Homo-oligomer: A and B are copies of this chain.
Amino acid sequence: MKARARTVHTYLDCIPCFFRQALRALRLAGADEALQGEILLEFSRRLGNFTPADPPPALGRELYALIRERVGKDPYREIKRQANREALALYPELKERIARSGDPLRAAVGFAIAANIIDYGAGTEHDLNAELERALRAGFGTFEYDAFREALGRAGSVLYLADNAGEIVFDRLLVEEILALGDHDLTLAVRGAAVINDATRDDARQAGLEEVCRVIDNGDDSPGTMLERCSDELRRRFADADLVVSKGQGNLESLWGARQAGLFFLFKVKCAAVERNLGLDRGETVLLRNPPPA
């Protein structure tokens, strides 16, 4: 096994990436060039208050909160609606394929991770289909499925931390599979405010999740789960859950190494920060158990 850091800190390559993301979001939101420049330079000044020990979602929160505050609209609103619609169109076929599969839980886990490539609303439709096909075949990288299945078998309460819009429809497939396996008390948590293309209550509603399980928001606007910023309810459910399913890089970056023995991370490796901190390969489809306390 490759060496894994105890925390996922902000890799220096994240910094140019945040500026690229900022420009993309500002252009999507239709901000004029003068406002784009002002916000980039203001973010640049604020960046000076962070250190590389802060996880990337802390910087992401600062950036997107600044954009929201100064531009006054959610740049990703339409992209998220579209991602939900497209994913819902795939739902019936995937539901059936899961049902027909030799190991429906494994198929649902594979689809849910594959859908984590829906990120930043990039035109990922074709990639998504290819990802889903790959997910049905066995080809995963780091995939601690047996441990996950065993932990789920023993679990009473489950907390499911969603990541992106669109992807959340595939989370519903996995949530339904988990609920079909036993009498789990399952809560799905989304972000407390619109940040990048992350799923909020609106997206959970659009994905039909409110009819399937308890849906809460985490009370915070970070693109991840920064526990110290989350609501009391989220923190309590996180501490008490027998199993926590953490989807995506943002949740991973903010929760890796947290005190939760039943925490599993399901994500695609999308950038150097995760690659280098955790010794994983870019593009890898990963199901990884939280490391035991040092």
Q: Mark A49-64, 1 if CB is under 8 A from B, else 0.
A: 0111000000000000
A16–B25 alpha-carbon span in the complex (Å):
14
| A50 CA / B38 CA spacing, docked (Å) | 10
Q: Which of B17, B20, B23, B44 contacts A44 (CB 8 A)?
A: B44
A13→B51 CA distance, assembly (Å): 24
| Contact indicator per residue, chain A 29-73, by CB within 8 Å of chain B (1) or not (0) | 000010011001110110110111000000000000000000000
Is the pair A41, B48 in contact by a Cβ cutoff of 8 Å? yes
For A, the interface residue count at a CB cutoff of 8 angstroms equals 21
A12 at the interface (CB under 8 A from B): yes
In the assembled complex, the Cα of A211 lies from the Cα of B13 at a distance in Å of: 44
A15 touches B (CB below 8 Å): yes
Of chain B, the residue at the smallest CB distance from A13 is: B23
| Nearest-neighbor residue (CB-CB) of A42 within chain B | B48
- Tally of this chain's copies: 2
* Chain B residues whose CB sits within 8 angstroms of the CB of A91 once the complex forms: none
Would you call A145 an interface residue if the criterion is a C-beta within 8 Å of the partner chain's C-beta atoms? no
Give the shortest distance, in Å, between A55 (CB) and chain B (any CB).
14
A120 sits at the interface (CB 8 A) = no
Do B48 and A44 touch (CB < 8 A)? yes
Contact partners of A13 in chain B: CB under 8 A:
23
Separation of A16 and B50 alpha carbons in the complex (Å): 17
Asked if A19 is at the interface of the complex by the 8 Å CB criterion, the answer is: yes
- Check if B16 sits within 8 Å of A23, measured CB to CB: yes
Residue A52 contacts which of B17, B37, B48 (CB distance < 8 angstroms)?
A: B37
Q: List 15 A-B contacts (CB under 8 A).
A: A12-B33, A12-B36, A13-B23, A15-B44, A16-B16, A16-B19, A16-B23, A19-B19, A33-B52, A37-B52, A41-B47, A41-B51, A44-B44, A44-B47, A45-B48
